[in-house]
Amino acid sequence: MNRRTALKTLAAGATLPLLGPARAASGSQPSALNSQPRFTLGVASYTLRGMPLENALQAVKRVGLDRISVNRLHLPWENSPPGWAAQLVKFKESGVAATCVGVLTLKDDEAQMRTAFEYVKTMGVSLFSCSPARAALPRLERFVKEYDVRAAIHNHGPENEDWPSPHEPWKAIQSLDSRIGLCIDVGHTYRAGADPAQCIRDYRARLYDVHLKDTAVPVGTKKDEPIPVGRGVLDERGILRALIDTGYSHTIWCEYEQSPEDPMPGLAESVGYVRGLLRGMA
């Protein structure tokens, strides 16, 4: 085996624990305790907010992934509707699929929410993460029914009054259509005083999205200090174990918010750490 073949073999093996879309679709059904992950790994484009969209897509490929959750900083949605469709060719050419958009801040406003859902429709995704005003929840429910897409409410930590942890949106959606669920941001969840792994287990029935990150600050801190996954205070192994045990089958988004001017070292380290954990757990 020559050096090039050996490196290709190693690279292919390193991605096995993450499961590609085809393998995930043919995996075992969720059970009380699953031994293999059914989810895929992607990058939240907020990580790459200091780059133009084309460079951000290439950055996702550089860390060996092919999925992105598109943030408004890469593709604005409120004020530039004519530009949406024209941008889609960039994803196709790059080989990186946009399978989610967000986080969309939604007001209790008919026109603004209609624009948001048209954006989701144009992007061709069936899921978006959002931060709706509490008063907007009935309107949000009407729109998810009309457009038949899922909306995952993203929690924002102790500095946010409405959705600090997953507990608050979970309580708020109980009487609403099941297409409205949760996007658990594990770092914000921890800072809000909740256990991310336990929230994943408790709210698995309507857990549609996960933002995976790490933090260096203690519980209750309102100003976050992002850090590469594995260097901070979160129990990342416990979080991944909860996702595997509950049969979570969507995407977990690696979100490294530090150093927007040069995010690649931290992003690569975070992705590598997650891969290492999954390989060890397997």
273 assigned to some structural domain: yes
25 assigned to some structural domain: no
Alpha carbons 50 and 30: distance in angstroms, whole number: 38
24 assigned to some structural domain: no
- CB neighbourhood size of 81 (10 A): 13
19 assigned to some structural domain: no
27 assigned to some structural domain: no
Residue type, 59: A
Which residue range forms the structural domain that includes residue 96? 33-281
9 assigned to some structural domain: no
Alpha carbons 122 and 70: distance in angstroms, whole number: 13
- C-alpha 31, offset from chain centre: 23
Structural domain tally of the chain? Answer: 1
Q: How many residues does this entry show for the chain?
A: 282
257 assigned to some structural domain: yes
108 assigned to some structural domain: yes
- Its pTM stands at 0.86
Which CATH number does the domain housing residue 113 bear? Answer: 3.20.20.150
Burial state string for 52-65 with b = 16 or more CB within 10 A and e = fewer than 16: ebeebbebbeebbb
Strands, E assignment, 1-107: 40-44, 67-70, 97-106
Per-residue pLDDT tens, the chain, 282 aa: give them. 443 443 343 344 443 334 433 223 323 344 445 578 899 999 999 999 999 999 999 999 999 999 999 999 998 888 666 667 778 889 989 999 999 999 999 999 999 999 999 999 999 999 999 999 999 999 999 999 999 999 999 999 999 999 999 999 999 999 999 999 999 999 999 999 999 999 999 999 999 999 999 999 999 999 999 999 999 999 999 999 999 999 999 999 999 999 999 999 999 999 999 999 999 998
**Helices 110-123 and 137-147: crossing angle, nearest 10°?**
40
